[in-house]
């Protein structure tokens, strides 16, 4: 039975990586750092699925991009993308996802859930902004103006959307006759 579950998990992870790759390429270019829907996809996956699933989804996504498959925003790929100004945000996806998966379901309070997603975004912002600041030689404060300020409102909308949608997705998957495995 474990082999069937493992095969299901591999298929599920592959499907979620494909969804994440598509969502990452839905972009709105506003400055050096585009608005992408990758964080929305990662929040929903991290809320609905367990830590193992979201960890491997984010890790495989990053590795696919590093080896040259154009999964990053604007169809970018390669190690050079990780070492570009926006690469810190990609690196930050792993702790972003881990925080969501570990903390989100600890309490049923909606305000708590909202603040977990805010915390995960703060961690992502911090890693991405530090990376950007280091490579651009901007001060951390000036980097915040580029990397965080333009995204706060949009990311709050994504957070609210993720809370609403993930609850519905979770309910649908739980009622499904197919055992997806990895669902919280």
Higher pLDDT, 24 or 174: 24
Q: How confident is the model at residue 183 (pLDDT cuts 50, 70, 90)?
A: confident
- Mean pLDDT for the chain? 93
pLDDT for position 128: 97
Q: How confident is the model at residue 176 (pLDDT cuts 50, 70, 90)?
A: confident
Residue carrying structure tokens 């957070």: 159
pLDDT for position 7: 86
pLDDT for position 5: 65
Least confident of 26-40, 85-99, 111-125, 137-151: 26-40
Mean pLDDT of all residues in 162-174: 93
Contact 123, 92 (CB under 8 A): yes
| Domains of the chain as residue ranges with CATH | 2-175 (1.10.1760.20)
Which pLDDT tens digit goes with each residue over 1-28?
344 468 888 999 999 999 999 999 999 9
**Pairwise CA distance, residues 11 & 16, whole Å:** 9
Which pLDDT tens digit goes with each residue over 114-158?
999 999 999 999 999 999 999 999 999 999 999 999 999 999 999
Q: Which residues contact 117 (CB under 8 A, 6 or more apart)?
A: 43, 100, 104, 159, 162, 163
Mean pLDDT of all residues in 34-61: 96
pLDDT for position 180: 64
**Pairwise CA distance, residues 82 & 20, whole Å:** 17
Which secondary-structure segment (H or E) carries 35? strand 35-36
pLDDT for position 2: 40
pTM of the model: 0.93
């Amino acid at each position: 039975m474990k082999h069937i579950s493992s095969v299901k998990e591999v298929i599920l992870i592959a499907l979620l990586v494909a969804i994440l790759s598509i969502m990452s390429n839905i972009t709105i270019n506003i400055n050096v750092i585009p608005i992408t829907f990758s964080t929305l996809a990662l929040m929903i996956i991290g809320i609905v699925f367990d830590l193992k699933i979201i960890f491997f989804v984010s890790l495989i996504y990053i590795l696919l991009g590093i080896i040259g498959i154009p999964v990053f925003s604007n169809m970018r790929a390669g190690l050079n993308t990780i070492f570009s100004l926006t690469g810190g945000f990609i690196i930050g996806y792993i702790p972003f996802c881990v925080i969501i998966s570990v903390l989100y379901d600890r309490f049923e309070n909606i305000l708590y859930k909202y603040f977990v997603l805010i915390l995960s975004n703060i961690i992502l912002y911090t890693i991405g902004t530090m990376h950007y600041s280091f490579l651009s030689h901007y001060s951390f404060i000036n980097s915040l103006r580029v990397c965080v300020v333009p995204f706060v409102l949009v990311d709050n909308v994504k957070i609210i959307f993720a809370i609403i949608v993930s609850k519905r997705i979770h309910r649908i998957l739980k009622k499904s006759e197919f055992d997806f495995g990895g669902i919280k």
